[in-house]
Structure formats: structure tokens, C-alpha cells
Structure 1
Amino acid sequence: MSSWCRSAFGVVGRVEPLVVLEQLGTSLFDTALLMVVKDRYADPTHPGTGARLSGEDEQQKAISDFYMVTNLIAQLTPIVPALLLAKAGDRGWRRVPVVVPLCGYLLSSVALLLVVLLGLPIQVMFGAAGILGITGGFCAYWPGVMTLASLASNTENRSQVMMRVELMYGAAGLLGSLLSGHVFLLYSSRVGHGTVLLCVCTLLHLLSLMHSTVLLQVREASSQPDESSALLPHASNGVPSETSSRKNTVNVVLLFSAAILYGSAVGGAVEILAIFVIKEPLQWNAAQVGYGNAAGFVIFLTSFLGAVAFRRCVSDVALILIGMLSFATGIYFMSFVIASYMFYIARSLGLFGLIPLPTIRSLLSQQVPSSLCGITLTTLQLALRLAALAYIPVFTKLYQRTLGWFPGFVFTLSSVVAVLGMIPISVVGCRWSRHRDSEETGATTEVRNADEDD
């Protein structure tokens, strides 16, 4: 019984249960926020919304402007806090980059709950986004989670461990999204739409904060590759991993470039997709929005299964290229969606779209010393956030200006940017091929010299 209890405590103390709790709460929050914003801009009786917007295009522009401001605040404010939290994590306080952002998530859900209960202006959520950013937000939380997963794994299975964390993240998002639309519609005579959903969301964020504070354990893998084997081809399944005291700057820059281009493509498309589905010709309600979000989280499952299957026969570089091509194909088809079934077809074409970023993070963690792992992953997340300061207004304004003639233009643009992201990854693959060939040539020369000496 004691061994069973220790095993159970070991499972509970891992990072996966925390990811599940947090993502369940976040998926509920995302649906609630979208529907509350939609209802507010369609109803002139609430404070802060101004006069009733006359047409659907005007409502779409108002909603997209709200999301643009909210996301810009959420992207800009975490930059310095996330760096400070990452430094604290690398100095031994590994749970700090996880615990502090979870406080921000909890406060954000409480703020939206108060907006619904007290009828506060929806602009209150601008302040909530600022609070989330000051506490580090996703920019600090996700690198903190990935750093814990990275430290608890060896280089041989690090990509698989990170994809497993992404799988749990996606499974929780799938479940939360499926339930969110139906729970949003639950109400009584005393409370309105969204109150029950936001109460559950707040409870989940509270539980995740308690888990990270009390139960989360920090582990480090006991077996690390030695210096003689660190440059062997199998060490990173695609690119050579560096020793504990070196880093490959060129590989790091190329991986950063690919991540920024691909992250911009995905972020810009997803930013508009949430608004796109509530306008004609789709005009989804809360339940359908939840189903659509769930379809997005199914990609976490298919990406995980694809990574496990493809890794047996292709390198990590090829795996990233497969994921980028999958997303580019699916989001290009999304440009021409005019019915719900077409939306799900487009989503299915991008079934491997979540493979690239966790695999890039895994390769990055193998290109720097372990003492720089946390700051490197956080710097990548910050780079993605800084890129968002450019692509969020660009995609938003392009969407507003193309509403009348081609609303899906931004999805075509996203597809092009994703294809561009394949270029630096291809260069990494070429560099690895040359490195492998030179090592094989060197090994052959050594064997030949040894034979001649004999």
C-alpha cells in the first residue's frame, strides 16, 4: 500500500496534471470571453458598448478591435516579467515561472466573472489582460512547464516527453471546449449566461494554482549523455546536440527564425478564426463555438500520434516540415470555407499542425547548456510575443478591409508565411547532413589510418 501511495503521489506531482487543470480552465474562459464580448457589442444597454452597431460588419470590426487591443496588451506586458521569472527558474526556483502566471490566470477569470455578475464594462478585461501580462502569462508559464518536462527527461526521449505534455494540453482543451458551449447557456433567474461556466473556470484555475504550489515536484533526469556521445547522430534524431558547455549559435538562430515565422502564421490565423466563425455564413452559437474549439484541440491528439509514428522513420527536422506543410494546407483551404462541414474538413487537413513548435523547443534545449535551458525557451516565447505585436494588428486590419470581398484572405496569407517558415528548418537539415557526412568521413579516415599503422 505504501509503494502504491508513493507511485500515486509521484504521478500527481508531475507536470501533466497541472497542465490538464490549467487548460480545462482556460478553454472554458476562452469560450466565455468570446460569447460575452459578442453579446455586449450586440446589446446597447450594457455600459461601455456605445450605440448599437448597425450591421454585422460593424460588429465584426468592433469585436476584432477588442481582441486586437486585448491581445496586444497580453503580448507586450509579459516581456520583462517573463525574463525575470525565467532567471529565477534557472537559479533553482523552478516552480516560480509556473506559480506566478497561474495567479494571473486566476485573477483574469475572476475579472470576467465580475463583468458578468455586476454588469461592468467589457473594457475591464483590458486591465485583466494587463494583470495577466504582469504575472508573466503564457509567455512565462509554458516555458516553465516545458523546462520542467525537459529537465525530467533525457535527450533521447525529450521530444516525445514534450509532445506528451502537448497531448495532455490538447486533450484537456478538447474536453473543456466540448463542454464550454453547453455550460455557458446554463443560467437561472438570478444569474445570466456564462456565470456557471466562469465559476467552474475560476475553480479550476484555483485548483491548478494549489497544485503548482503544494504538489508539483521538480525532477532532473539522472542519466545524461556523456561528452563522447553528445554528437552522435542518434542523440537528437535530426540535429546534433551540443555538450553541456557549448551551444551552436547558428542552429539556435535558424530554429528561432523558423519558430517565429510559423508561430506568426498560426497565431495570426487563430486570432481571426475565432471571430470568423460567428459571422455569416457560419454564424455559430456558443455550442458550435465550443465544438469548433474542440476540433482545434483534436489536432493535439493527431499531432502526438503522428509524431510517434513518423519519428520511427524520419528525423526531427523532417517531422517539423511535415507539420508545417500540414498546417499550410489546412489553413489555405480555410480561406474558402462557407459551411460548417467545410470548416471541419479544413481542420482535418491540418491534423499535424501542432508538431513543429514542441519539436523546435526540444531541439533548442539540446543546442544549449542545461543551465541556459529555461532562459532559452523563455526567450523563444518572448520572441513569439514580440512577433505578435506585428502580426496581430496586420492580420486584424487586413481582415477588416477584406470583409467585403474575401474574408478568408488572411488565411491565405497565413499559409504563405507557414511555407516561408520551412526554409530555415530546411537549412538546419542541410547543416546536419553535412555534419553527419563529415563525422562519417572522419571515422572512416581514422579506421584507415589505424589499419595502416597495424
Structure 2
Amino acid sequence: MAAPSSEALPPAPPPSPDAGSGPGRTSGLGARLRSRCCVTVEPVVFMAMLALTLQVPLATQYIYQRAVEAMTSHWNLYINVGGFAVVLFSVTLLGAWSDRVGRRPILMMPAIGLALQSTVYLIVMYLELPVGFFLIGRLLSALSGDFSMILAGCFSYIADTSDRQSRTFRVAVLESCLGVAGMCGSIIGGLWSKAQSYTNPFWLVLALNLATVAYAFAFVPESVAAKQPSKLFTTQHYRSVYRLYSGGTLGLWLYALALFVVVTVHFGIKDIMILFELSSPLCWESDWIGYGLALEHLTYLISLLGLKAMQFCISDSGIAEIGLLSNIAGLVTFSVAATSTLMFTGYGLRVLGMTTTPVLRAKMSKLVGVTEQGALFASVACVESACSLASTVVFNSLYPATLYFMKGFSFLFGAALLLIPTGIIGFLGYRRAELQYHQFENLSQDAQTTTDTSIQNE
């Protein structure tokens, strides 16, 4: 028999009976973290998202200033596609690796990469180098996992340190941090760049990325208690992601599909919303567009509060369905909006639209073991990166192609797509209820049989 290869990783400990909660590898540590502090990785998500929200429009405007409009769209495409291709490689590697070596490295590494990216961007701006050098910064960030890895690491951390009952709300808190940071970044970036051009605000981007590294290093306790030495560059990590889905349940695949559709519609609607509002018959000015964006980001906070309130009397699946119905109602209203009043009514109907994604993330997390959370959320991050590309291709192509017969058709199309996750969540919720009923029925029959046997023996 051949000796085992030195490249092989030690076998991961078996999942606990409660695969989604903290027992097993992280139970004691998770309990200590929960009792010590309610805030852990939330500032990491907030600062990283704030930096990203500042960086993206500033970089696009700088490229537009240096190049013609057509070249701007081309360079944005090159930078995004190049980064996406590398992120697929790095995120799946780092996410599974973190299941063994811990979460803190994958919180700091991508933040360092993002800091290097902003440094490269600043050098290009000050030295007026060709805008193609932006691609170097993008690749440096992508190799370290990019913002997708920060999200995956933070969601994995929450899965490590929360129990099954609180996990959905903790995930929703993280997502609300994204919304608040996005709103702050939009306001700060717009006002600052208007006053002092694009270069000075980029120093804040660099400072926020460095602050994210420092916070993760100094204030985030490690959530993986039984860390194991593990090589980073090995195919074992990719195989662990493959095993997650190849041996996973049908529910994992269906929830992943539901998440893909929901996030694709979310990104796609954001891409065309401003174009819809700028043109006739709405003809909104920048101040009205700002009000709309503020309401869009406020949806994160209202959805968080709504989710917390509804959890007292509604199941997580029911909350996700309400979120989808809220989203569908808002999109249908947008599709026929010819006045500002109707447009704002659509925004109001969508206020619970962000309750769906935290439920889907939490449900997927509960279907895998405690030693697979990093691999799971790394794969989810890759799915969401694919959503960004898919939404750009689908909605940015559909919107101009359907203007001649119905300007709001893209919103109606998005609402129709959301019927897919609505059906998936309803089906899985029904199947789970049926399973619980049959288990209860079997237990009742066993108890009755035991009682009858006891009576006969007497």
C-alpha cells in the first residue's frame, strides 16, 4: 500500500447532530462570543462596503474623464470580468481553507488586497498613468478574495457563533450593514467628489480598507476553536466545495437557485432604475433620484425590523415569502409608473423586499455541518458574483429592447422571475411540514403501541 501523500489534509471532524448550530467544534467558543459581545464582524462589513460604495462610482467617473464614453464601458467590462474570473478561483480556495485555519485570515487578506487596489488607483490618478493600470489593482484585490471573500468570511463567522434560532436575524443585521454603508457611501462620495474631484475621496477608501484590516486583527476573536494546519494551495479545498453540493440535499440546490434568482433581479433592477427615472415620463432631477436611492437603502433597515417583528409569529419560510410578495408588488407598480407618486408607491411596497436573502442564507447554513460553513459561503459568494454579471447582461439588454412597446417591461420581467423562488420556498416549506407531521404521527403510533402492550401485559 502506498504511503499517504504529504499534500493530503487531515480529515475534518464529523458534523455535530445539530449541523447548523454551534455544537461540536465551535460550541463553547460560540457561546462565549455570544455572551461577551453582540457586535463582532458587523463593522468589518460596514467599513468594507462603505469603501466599495465610494470606490466604484469614483473609479468609473475618473475613467470617463480620461477616456471617451465607449472606452469607459469597455474598460469597466475588462476590469469586472477579469476580477470575476480570478475571484472564482480565490474565493472557493480561501473559503474552504478557513474551515480549518480559522476566519480571521480571510477577513484580513481581502481587506489588504482592497487596500492595495486603492493604492494602485491613487498612483494611477496622481501620475496620470494609462487607465489600463487599474486592471492591475483589480487583479491584486481579486487574488486575495476581494469584497466577496469578506462577505463570505463574515457570514461564516456569524454561522459559527449563532444558534439556529438567532441565525436568520444575525444574518439580516449583516445585510442591513450593507444597506446603511451603501447609503452613507453614496452621499459622501457624491458630495465630496463634486467639491474636490475624484482623487481626495480615494484616500478615504484606502483608510477604510486599512481600518478594516486593523479592526479584524485587533477586535475580532477567532470563531474556529479546533484550528488545523492546512496548506492553502491544494485541490482538497476545491474538492470540499464539490462534495458539499454533490453529496448535499435537494434543498441546498434549490435554495441556491432561489438565491441566484433573487440577487440577479435585485442587481438587474438597480442597473436600470436610474435610467427609468431620468427619462420621460418621470424626468427626475438628481435630487429626486437621491430620494429614491435613500428609500432603496432604507429598505434594508425596515426589512431588518420587520423580520425581527415577524419572527415572533411567522416561520422563516413565511417571512421569505412575504419579502418576495413585497418585492413583486413594488416591481409591478414600477412597471406602470408614469407619475412620481406611483413611483414612490412602488418604493413603499418594496420595504420588506430584503427579508428574503437573509432567510435563504440562514437556511443554507443550517443544511451543512459546522466544518463546512466557509466552503458554503464561499460558494454563495461566487453565485452572487455570477448574479452581478448575469443581471448586467440580461437587464441591460432587455431594457432598451423593450422600450418601444412597454417601458417598464423589465420590472415586470423581474417580478415574474421572483415567482421561481416563491415556488421553491413554498415547496420546501410544505415538504418540511409534511416530514414533521409524519414524524409526529409515527411517534404517536409508537406511543399508542407501547401503551397497548403495557395494558395487555397487565
Secondary structure of residue in 1 paired with 2:101: coil
Coordinate RMSD, CA, aligned: 3.1
Whether 1:159 and 2:168 are equivalent positions in the alignment is yes
8 Å CA contact retained: 1:23, 1:172:
yes
The whole-number CA distance in structure 2 between the counterparts of 1:128 and 1:337 is 41
- Once the two structures are aligned, what percentage of the paired residues are identical? 22
Contact map agreement 2:58 2:193 (CA 8 A) in 1: yes
AA in 1 matched with 2:108: V
Contact 1:184 1:197 in 2 (8 A): yes
What is the deviation of 1:201? 2.3
In structure 2, the partner of 1:378 is 378
Moved more, 17-26 or 83-92: 17-26
User: Could you tell me the TM-score, scaled by structure 2's length?
Assistant: 0.77
Equivalent residue for 2:67, pick from 48, 53, 71: 48
1:54: which partner in 2?
none
**Is the 2:183–2:297 Cα contact (8 Å) retained in structure 1?**
yes
Q: Distance in 1 between matches of 2:404 and 2:127?
A: 37
> Deviation of residue 412 (structure 1)?
2.4
Pairing of 1:171-210 with structure 2 (within 5 A): 171-187=180-196, 193-210=197-214
2:16 aligned residue = none
Aligned length: 400
Deviations 1:395-414 (CA, angstroms, capped at 9, x unpaired): 22223434566554332222
Q: For residue 22 of structure 2, what is the aligned residue in structure 1?
A: none
1:319-340 per-residue CA deviation (whole Å, 9 max, x = no partner) reads 1111122222223333345666
Q: CA deviation at 1:82?
A: 0.4
Q: Is the 8 A contact 2:45 2:151 kept in 1?
A: no
**Cα offset for 1:126?**
4.3
Alpha-carbon distance between aligned partners in 1 of 2:375 and 2:355, rounded to the nearest angstrom: 22
Q: Relative contact order (alpha carbons < 8 A, sep ≥ 6): 1 or 2 greater?
A: 2
Residue type of the alignment partner of 1:294: A
**1:44-68 deviations in Å (ceiling 9; x for gaps):** xx5432xxxxxxxxx6x77666555
SS in structure 1 of the partner of residue 162 of structure 2: coil
- Residues 14/309 of structure 1: CA separation in 2 closer, same or farther (3 Å cut): same
Q: Residues of 1 paired with 2:76 and 2:279: CA distance?
A: 15
Cα distance in 2 between the residues matched to 1:312 and 1:389: 37
Q: Which moved more, 1:291-300 or 1:145-154?
A: 291-300
Distance 1:30 1:47, change over 3 A: closer
Look up the SS of the partner of 1:368 in the other structure.
coil
After TM superposition, give the deviation of residue 452 of structure 1 in Å: 0.9
| Structure 1 pair 180–341 and aligned structure 2 pair: CA distance change class (3 A) | farther
Q: Which runs of 5+ in 1 are unaligned?
A: 1-5, 41-45, 50-58, 188-192, 222-246
Question: Following the alignment from structure 1 to structure 2, what is the Cα–Cα distance between the partners of residues 70 and 344?
Answer: 34
Deviation at 1:299, TM superposition (A): 1.1
Work out the CA distance in 1 between the residues paired with 2:167 and 2:299: 20
Corresponding residue for residue 41 of structure 2 = 15
The question of whether the paired residues in 1 share the 8 Å contact of 2:328 and 2:415 is answered with yes
| 273 and 75 in structure 1: CA distance in 2 versus 1, 3 angstrom threshold | farther
The answer to whether the aligner puts 1:215 opposite 2:219 as a matched pair is: yes
1:261, distance to aligned residue in structure 2 (A): 1.6
Q: Name 1:302's counterpart in structure 2.
A: 302
C-alpha displacement of 1:249: 0.6
Q: Check whether the contact 2:155–2:171 (CA below 8 A) recurs between aligned residues.
A: yes
Q: What is aligned with 1:27?
A: 53
CA contact 2:47–2:208 (8 Å) conserved in 1: yes
Partner of 1:433: 433
| Whole-Å separation in 2 of the counterparts to 1:131 and 1:341 | 45
What is the distance in 1 between the residues matched to 2:395 and 2:122?
29
Give 1:385 deviation, angstroms.
2.7
Deviation at 1:76, TM superposition (A): 2.8
